[in-house]
């Protein structure tokens, strides 16, 4: 199986390097992506928006052996959902890592402070304590040293979806910051945060307790969880 991995904000393809070994060992081909504007700190980000990132994933899907598995971390969850919408017949499963599908008209996070066309990694004080669970000083320094500004358009643009067959694509949610039981409670209560997730017909939940960056805090366990989602038997 071809597995396409989409990083969250401020990260490039290398952020998956400690996650993919069990997938490769099991015989899968992995394709971690570096999305437009994330190639380097001085890469041009003017005019790069959410649709550009979705299109980059769609292009990867079209190049791969199909059907593929899409994995999206954090803001990457919204991006892979846009790709599922564009290619519903080409995706075997969507895996959301501490993230979920973003519905029509939603934005990933338009409250993140921008500097021109860039959204730099905020100070740690700007994150909730749950985000930073297990992210010790060494990991924080590593993350900040490699962080690349996110294109403002990706964070602020509204999601545009067109094909309801996206709800037929099976999904796995790997819950990190809070337990999957809470997601189910929100779905039962009709919370708007999970409205799009609630419409997916086949969803599996996996709990991986840690902070918002399990690829750094629990990479081997995250790789195992993705592998279990791809090879449930």
Q: Which tens digit of pLDDT belongs to each residue from 8-38?
A: 999 999 999 999 999 999 999 999 999 999 9
Dihedral of the alpha carbons of 22, 12, 176, 25, in degrees to the nearest 10? 0
Give pLDDT < 70 ranges for the chain. Answer: 233
- Position 229 scores a pLDDT of 97
| Helix, strand, coil abundance in the chain, percent, nearest 5 | 40, 15, 40
Spatial distance between the Cα atoms of 153 and 97, rounded to a whole number of angstroms = 22
Strand extents, DSSP E, 134-181: 150-151, 171-175
- Position 232 scores a pLDDT of 76
Q: Are 35 and 59 in contact (CB under 8 A)?
A: no
**Tokens at residue 176, please?**
């990190």
CA atoms within 13 A on the CB side of 73: 29
∠ CA 39-43-45 to the nearest 5 degrees? 105
119 three-state secondary structure: strand
- Position 233 scores a pLDDT of 52
178 three-state secondary structure: coil
Q: Are 69 and 95 in contact (CB under 8 A)?
A: yes
Q: How many CB atoms lie under 10 A from the CB of residue 226? A: 27
| Domains of the chain listed by start with CATH number | 2-230 (3.40.50.1820)
Spatial distance between the Cα atoms of 179 and 184, rounded to a whole number of angstroms = 9
């Amino acid at each position: 199986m071809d597995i396409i991995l989409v990083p969250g904000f401020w990260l490039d393809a290398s952020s998956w390097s400690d996650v993919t070994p069990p997938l490769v060992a099991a015989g899968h081909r992995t394709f971690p992506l570096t999305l437009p504007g994330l190639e380097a700190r001085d890469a041009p980000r003017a005019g790069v928006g959410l649709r550009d990132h979705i299109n980059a994933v769609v292009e990867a899907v079209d190049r791969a052996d199909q059907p593929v598995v899409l994995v999206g971390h954090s803001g990457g969850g919204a991006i892979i959902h846009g790709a599922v919408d564009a290619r519903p017949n080409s995706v075997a499963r969507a895996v959301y890592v501490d993230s979920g599908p973003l519905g029509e008209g939603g934005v990933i996070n338009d409250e993140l402070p921008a500097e021109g066309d860039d959204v730099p990694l905020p100070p740690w004080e700007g994150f909730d304590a749950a985000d930073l669970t297990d992210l010790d000083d060494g990991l924080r320094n590593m993350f900040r040293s490699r962080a690349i500004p996110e294109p403002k358009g990706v964070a602020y643009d509204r999601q545009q979806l067109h094909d309801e067959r996206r709800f037929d694509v099976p999904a796995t949610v790997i819950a990190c910051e809070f337990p999957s039981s809470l997601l189910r409670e929100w779905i039962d209560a009709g919370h708007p945060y999970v409205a799009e997730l609630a419409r997916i017909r086949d969803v599996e939940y996996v709990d991986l307790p840690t902070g918002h960056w399990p690829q750094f805090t629990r990479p081997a366990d995250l790789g195992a969880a993705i592998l279990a989602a791809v090879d449930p038997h």
